Amino acid sequence: MNRRSMKIMRRKAGGTAGKNAEKYSVNLPAVWLRAMGIQKDNRVELSFDGEKITVRPLASTDPELFRRNAEQKGHQLKEYRYYDGDTLCTVILADFTAEQICIENKVDEILDTAFGVNETPSWEDFLAFLADRCIPKTRKGLDYYLDAVGVPEYDPVLLVEKTQGRMAEDHKWLEII
């Protein structure tokens, strides 16, 4: 692991910020960003867990670029095709290694797409979507159901692979490639 000590720069915040608002920044080494595949015009995702800040490249919104990047890095990539009956509504590319997804809606009707108005869903949104396409975790007799479909424990990813995310109340389902 490469470590460096950096100075935090402070300045007054502008725009509509309050009178005493401040803004902080850190300059990141270019060699680190290049190693992560981040170029000057790319956007990044910042996350804070209460102790550390993580910088990650923002997943590409171009499905082919997303696929190429994941495959070049040897990541575990799956494609989920979300259908309403015979109509392909959304293609979801899921990079299980980087825990990122890229979607391409194939229909204009928002109610038929996998994530509705959310055009840039997170990994957590993806997992919640899969969980919504499964039997509820709180369902009585869950162990009987899991045995019947051949899944050892409650795991929405495995359940959707076994059931294609089919639900009794709608005609939507997933094809996994």
Mean pLDDT over the full length of the chain: 91
Alpha-helix residue ranges (DSSP H) falling in 20-170 = 30-35, 63-72, 123-132, 142-149, 156-163
Q: Give the total number of structural domains in the chain.
A: 2
Mean pLDDT across 13-22: 85
Helix (H) or strand (E) holding 59: none
pTM (2 d.p.): 0.72
Q: Please provide the size of the chain in residues.
A: 177
pLDDT given for residue 133 in this prediction = 97
Question: pLDDT tens digits, residue range 41-64?
Answer: 777 878 888 999 888 776 677 899
Range of the domain at 111: 63-176
CATH number at residue 48: 2.10.260
Residues 46 and 79 in one domain: no
